[in-house]
Structure 1
Amino acid sequence: MNIALWIVTGLLALAYVAGGTAKLVMSKQKIYASGHSGHWVEDWSDGGVKAIGALELLGGLGLVLPALVGIATGLVPVAAIGLGVIMVGAAVTRFRRGEVKLVAVDFGYLALLAFVVWGRFVVEPFTG
């Protein structure tokens, strides 16, 4: 189970670090132009998009860094909870916009984050 948790957590961390970094460095217009999945930025200010990017980047790092350095490992599931909150917000935004297929993707991420929370709080918590 520990290996499965590391794999899922690592993949999620890569996705959130990449996505968060992109939101921080790309303009809102460039995100919009990147395709249908980027049209949500219409509902957010430039600062809001950058804030979401910063939170995703920090959450992605929080999924792996505490465990890798062995300090405050209890923050791993906490980071997953925080990213879960972001994904609920993403799903609500997409649902309001009628982007139902993308809501399913958001719920997929939410399910993987829930797996990490459950796994690291209950099944295989990090022990010092």
Structure 2
Amino acid sequence: MTIQNNTKVLNIILWIFQALVAATFIWAGAMKLFKPTELPWLWVTENPKLVKISGVFDLLAGFGLTLPSALRVQPKMTIYAAYGTIALMISASIFHIMRGEGNQIGFNIFILASVIFIAWGRIKKVPIEPKNKR
């Protein structure tokens, strides 16, 4: 395989990760904002303001991980969204550990690893150029 083919494959893989992680965050954010009573987690009823705040951050992460790159308008914002999502997942893990729910952070760790992969790929391997640079 040539380097160009490897780059194309990596680009496709990055887009798949971006889309799946974004869909996850958009779903989670919408649920937290519009149907928080249907969520199965105990902390949702204990901290309704935190649910709304985290819902907003989830939506920002979901849209930020895809839209800037897809529209090629300020695609570096995707990298910044990835950084913010990294901070969000670390914070979520700490939150769960502090509540004695350390056994529930597996999903947070998976998303964290996925977003680190997205940031690495979009910074080092397959950056997306803005529209006006082409």
Give the TM-score range, shorter chain: 0.7 to 0.9
Quick one: which of 74, 82, 85 aligns to 2:84?
A: 82
2:32/2:52 contact within 8 Å kept: yes
Q: Match of 2:117?
A: 115
2:33/2:52 contact within 8 Å kept: yes
Q: Match of 2:18?
A: 9
Quick one: which of 37, 42, 63 aligns to 1:39?
A: 42
2:72/2:129 contact within 8 Å kept: no
The sequence identity of aligned pairs, in percent, is: 31
What RMSD over aligned residues (CA atoms) do the two structures have, in Å?
Answer: 1.4
TM-score (norm 2): 0.83
Could you tell me how far 1:43 is from its partner in structure 2? 5.4
Q: Match of 1:70?
A: 72
Runs (4 or more) in structure 1 with deviation over 4 Å come to none
TM-score (norm 1): 0.87
Measured in 1, the distance between the counterparts of 2:96 and 2:42 equals 9
Could you tell me how far 1:40 is from its partner in structure 2? 2.8
Measured in 2, the distance between the counterparts of 1:88 and 1:40 equals 17
2:28/2:55 contact within 8 Å kept: yes
Measured in 2, the distance between the counterparts of 1:74 and 1:64 equals 11
Could you tell me how far 1:52 is from its partner in structure 2? 0.9
